[in-house]
Structure 1
Amino acid sequence: MSVVTVTPTGVSPSDVLAVARGTATVVLDPATIEAMETSRAIVDRIEQDGRPVYGVSTGFGALANTFVAPSRRAELQHALIRSHAAGIGAPMPREVVRAMMLLRVRSLALGHSGVRPLVAQSLVDLLNHDITPWVPEHGSLGASGDLAPLAHCALALLGEGWTLGKGGAREDASVALHRAGLAPIELAAKEGLALINGTDGMLGMLLLAIDDAAHLFTMADVTAALAIEAMLGTDRPFQPELHRIRPHPGQAVSAANIHRLLQGSGIMDSHRDDLVHAVQDAYSMRCAPQVAGAARDTLDFVTSVAARELVSVVDNPVVLPDGRVESTGNFHGAPLGFAADFLAIAAAEVGAISERRVDRLLDITRSRDLPAFLSPDAGVNSGLMIAQYTAAGIVAENRRLAAPASVDSLPTSGMQEDHVSMGWAAGRKLRTVLENLTSLLAVELLAAVRGLQLRAPLTPSPAGRAAVDVVARFAGVPGPDIFLAPALESARATVISRDLRTTIESHLGPLA
């Protein structure tokens, strides 16, 4: 079991993945304890001085000008958590909630939030005891950060609200804490606000999506190469010198992947000098690196945004080392919302061009002598006809989801919060687009392998042989129609898994 240490400079993307998707234990570096104690002492002095400070001695949002008496300030923090835990809908996945909790620990540990170390340690305890708060899917507008989702997490610290029980059932947080031997905590001034103000939910979803997209974009090169090989395409457009003259870095990477994947193919060799097959392939084949490469460049931009956010202080107000407590707008999720929307657009297009190759593979007029719908006995049998319908429907959904959420601000809190980022919504729909891309690549994998099988006795490339071996285990060989849904589910699992990629890389070396 690995250990993730939260330091005064935060955590890394790999730390977030290890906690969200793995079993890593979380610990606080001693230096973070000192940083939190220092900022807490500043808040305590403000309490003693009686100065009006937002969120410490005042209400919140449109109630920022309402003074709160010292005797009611702890009550203020608890009331804040209860009132802001106002989400509705199905629970967010465990991995998203755990990523969000670790990132909130990171935010507190930076020492600008004015909380006691106890508060950060209590979140760590939830993570280490695998207690996942029930966070409804609807509630955040992405400014002031992810208020409602984070409030649902914070409510569990108070022994209130719900957690995810066995099988996804809802369980009272008090029961989960008691079973783990944990006690609810009492919040002091500023601590409730510090638990909910920030971009942790948006950032958590973006970091998970970055990891998913990086793998899927490589698998998109794999399925493209398999489809091109099955359709008797040429490898000439993927030569490196043709991409050096248009120096987009992602394009060069994608082209290099596809070129390597197509080498050593008896199928390719059979028509290498045939002008009918080798002059110009369709755009969905020839331009695969231009589309997938642009998506890779988009991913690089999104990764840089997430990296900056990982070292950012996103609380409000913030406690500065010189004793000032200042209101900021750093909780606004525009950078993350824009990034999530941009990546969703890119991923949707990677899926769209994949579906075009599937359609070409199935069309007897364009597939270069493959049988209709990849069935040896088309007519009685429909082959993969309806699998392409499924892909087309998913592409249409991704086009709708690619419409940006981040331009859809709605004012709230009596016009105090009159522009919001919708970054949470952008993150949620990005996750759906990537799920859909996985399904589209699964359809292409199955169709491309069927095409390679139908080229026998010609032998495919090493990558093609590896794919045929894997897919044949659950889809068999071309013949009478089969129940396609289980085969597509298995193809989808193959795209998600690193096994096929690892096998291919054992022949070719690492794919970028």
Structure 2
Amino acid sequence: MISLDPEQVSLDLLRQLWLGAEARLDEASRERIAISAEAVARIVAGGETVYGVNTGFGLLANTRIPDDRLAELQTNLILSHSCGLGEPTPRHIVRLMIVLKQLGLGRGHSGVRLAVIDALQALLDRDAMPVIPSQGSVGASGDLAPLAHLIAALMGHGRIDLAGETLPAPQALQRLGMSPLELGPKEGLALINGTQFSCALALDALFRAERVFAAAIAAGALSVDALKGSAKPFDPRISALRGQPGQVRVAAELARLLEGSEILASHGRCGRVQDPYSFRCQPQVMGASLDLLVNAARTLEIEAAAVTDNPIVFADEGSAISGGNFHAQPAAFAADMIAMAMCEVGSLSERRISVLVDPKMSGLPAFLTPDGGVNSGMMIPQVTAAALVAENRSMAFPASVDSIPTSAGQEDHVSMAPIAARKARAIVANVAGIVGIELIAAAQGIDYHAPLATGPSLQPIHARVREHSGHLTRDRYWADEMAAVQAAMLAGGIAGAWLG
């Protein structure tokens, strides 16, 4: 059980939480939460008018709510905002979303009671994930609809997935031995204001992207060897003169992977001067993509434990200030960076596939099949890769530069962060498919150079590919083995991860 300190959140910790590690807030966080809840109680008792505590919401912010209707106000807020559509959010993302909500509340500036924290923890402990529609948030004022569905389930509305069995929320709560949650002043607003849905989606995209990126580096090196290409462009002196950190790292990794290759050594004095850009410029393109991923990771690491609800309670002053931390623009930019970086990773990979299957470019048998004509070999897998690249390009336009005013113009600029994050997740999955096809093609190309072997660091990569896709001797049904390599990559079973 990980003891969560919202003041000490790292990318490594977030990875563990993403993978389902059990966690709960530490005692210092619980103390801060209790103090902030007491501050809200004093504000209500003192009669001060504070947005979201005893007023309406959005354009109705100037409407004062009587004390005897404050509980009704919070209940109505959750019900009215539970209006999402679309496919259910994957349960591992819902789990991460709940943990992120706890981290934000654990900073002690939200005014919720410990009873709310305990209710959220009970969901985690019992593997009870509210069913949250994936569409309906524009990423300001926070992820209203998704977070509302999360809290509505605790209140006995909607549905809850109990370890894979989906039940109506009242029935699920009864089975869990939980009573429906009753909200106090400000609690509804504190729970649905926030960027946790966007952040959880973006972190999922990031952590899957780093696995695909690592596999793409390995695929690129394997393709260089299959092409009998040159390792000279990966000379560290070249990248040092440019100084871009991602380029330096990628060049070094490609050189390491190719070290000791018998294939590479066999053509050291060949007449080829230059390889195509998709081979030669890997450090420059993949390095730039890596830098984007690192920057996105830094942003999301900060956002994961940020206080992003509204108003923000300052218990030591006994005040609550209405601001705009719920605006998810940082998460939106981070997700779009992931999407653009991975779109280019896929584009570069597809170009290498195209070279490998073209006998004029590669010197290998056409479409990597030994009996061309009767057999089409890898002709159509390359078409699939091209289709995925085209799909990625259609999704890569940044959602973060779009905005549609909502709430009768009160919320006149929004981030579209969840849309950016959902697109990033889709692009990463597509890139895993593209790189998987490259790995199959490169492994086939390596086989044609036998008995010469690829380098010691690439041989395990070749072997992992061959676990899912055997050597091609004649045409066969492709889809299942392509999907198997894609799935293995997304699970980290090809080359691990590479952000550090």
- Normalising by structure 1, report the TM-score: 0.94
Q: Report what 1:106 is aligned to.
A: 103
CA distance in 1, matches of 2:471, 2:269: 29
Q: Residue 485 of structure 1 aligns to which amino acid in structure 2?
A: A
CA distance in 2, matches of 1:144, 1:77: 16
The answer to whether the aligner puts 1:453 opposite 2:451 as a matched pair is no
Instruction: Give deviations 1:168-225, integer Å, cap 9, x for gaps.
Output: x642112222222222221111011111101111111222222222222221110000
Q: Report what 1:231 is aligned to.
A: 227
Report the CA distance between 1:9 and its aligned residue.
Answer: 2.0
Cα RMSD, aligned residues only:
1.7
How many pairs align? 499
Contact in 1 for aligned 2:461/2:495 (Cα 8 Å): no
Q: Report what 1:331 is aligned to.
A: 326
Q: Residue 406 of structure 2 aligns to which amino acid in structure 1?
A: T
CA distance in 2, matches of 1:140, 1:194: 16
Report the CA distance between 1:314 and its aligned residue.
Answer: 1.0
CA distance in 1, matches of 2:466, 2:298: 40
Matching of residues 142-161 of structure 1 within 5 Å: 142-161=139-158
The answer to whether the aligner puts 1:360 opposite 2:355 as a matched pair is yes
Q: Report what 1:475 is aligned to.
A: 469
Q: Report what 2:19 is aligned to.
A: 21
CA distance in 2, matches of 1:268, 1:218: 21
The answer to whether the aligner puts 1:202 opposite 2:198 as a matched pair is yes
Query: Residue 484 of structure 2 is aligned with which of 484, 490, 505?
Result: 490
Identity of aligned residues (%): 45
Q: Residue 189 of structure 1 aligns to which amino acid in structure 2?
A: P
Q: Report what 2:248 is aligned to.
A: 252
**Partner of 2:130: helix, strand, or coil?**
coil
Q: Report what 2:281 is aligned to.
A: 287
Between the two structures, name the one with larger relative contact order (CA 8 Å, sep ≥ 6).
2
CA distance in 2, matches of 1:53, 1:238: 60
Q: Report what 1:394 is aligned to.
A: 388
Report the CA distance between 1:304 and its aligned residue.
Answer: 1.7
**Partner of 1:366: helix, strand, or coil?**
helix
Matching of residues 436-451 of structure 1 within 5 Å: 436-451=430-445
Instruction: Give deviations 1:39-83, integer Å, cap 9, x for gaps.
Output: 111111111121211111111111111111111100110111111
Contact in 1 for aligned 2:231/2:258 (Cα 8 Å): yes
Report the CA distance between 1:470 and its aligned residue.
Answer: 2.8
CA distance in 1, matches of 2:9, 2:111: 19
Q: Report what 1:413 is aligned to.
A: 407
Report the CA distance between 1:351 and its aligned residue.
Answer: 0.5
Contact in 2 for aligned 1:54/1:327 (Cα 8 Å): yes
Contact in 2 for aligned 1:449/1:464 (Cα 8 Å): no
Query: Using a 3 Å threshold, how does the CA distance of structure 1 residues 263 and 10 change in structure 2: closer, same or farther?
Result: closer
- Normalising by structure 2, report the TM-score: 0.96
Matching of residues 265-280 of structure 1 within 5 Å: 265-275=261-271, 277=272, 279-280=273-274
Query: Using a 3 Å threshold, how does the CA distance of structure 1 residues 21 and 91 change in structure 2: closer, same or farther?
Result: same
Contact in 1 for aligned 2:144/2:192 (Cα 8 Å): yes
Report the CA distance between 1:311 and its aligned residue.
Answer: 4.1
Shifted more, 36-45 versus 412-421: the winner is 36-45
Report the CA distance between 1:496 and its aligned residue.
Answer: 2.8
Query: Using a 3 Å threshold, how does the CA distance of structure 1 residues 33 and 465 change in structure 2: closer, same or farther?
Result: closer
Instruction: Give deviations 1:208-266, integer Å, cap 9, x for gaps.
Output: 22222222222111000001100010111101111111110110111111111111111
Q: Report what 2:115 is aligned to.
A: 118
Instruction: Give deviations 1:439-467, integer Å, cap 9, x for gaps.
Output: 11101000000111112232222234323
Unaligned runs of at least 5 residues, structure 2: none
Matching of residues 491-510 of structure 1 within 5 Å: 491-501=485-495
**Partner of 1:137: helix, strand, or coil?**
strand
Q: Report what 1:164 is aligned to.
A: 161
**Partner of 2:40: helix, strand, or coil?**
helix
Query: Using a 3 Å threshold, how does the CA distance of structure 1 residues 424 and 474 change in structure 2: closer, same or farther?
Result: closer
Unaligned runs of at least 5 residues, structure 1: none
Query: Using a 3 Å threshold, how does the CA distance of structure 1 residues 237 and 78 change in structure 2: closer, same or farther?
Result: same
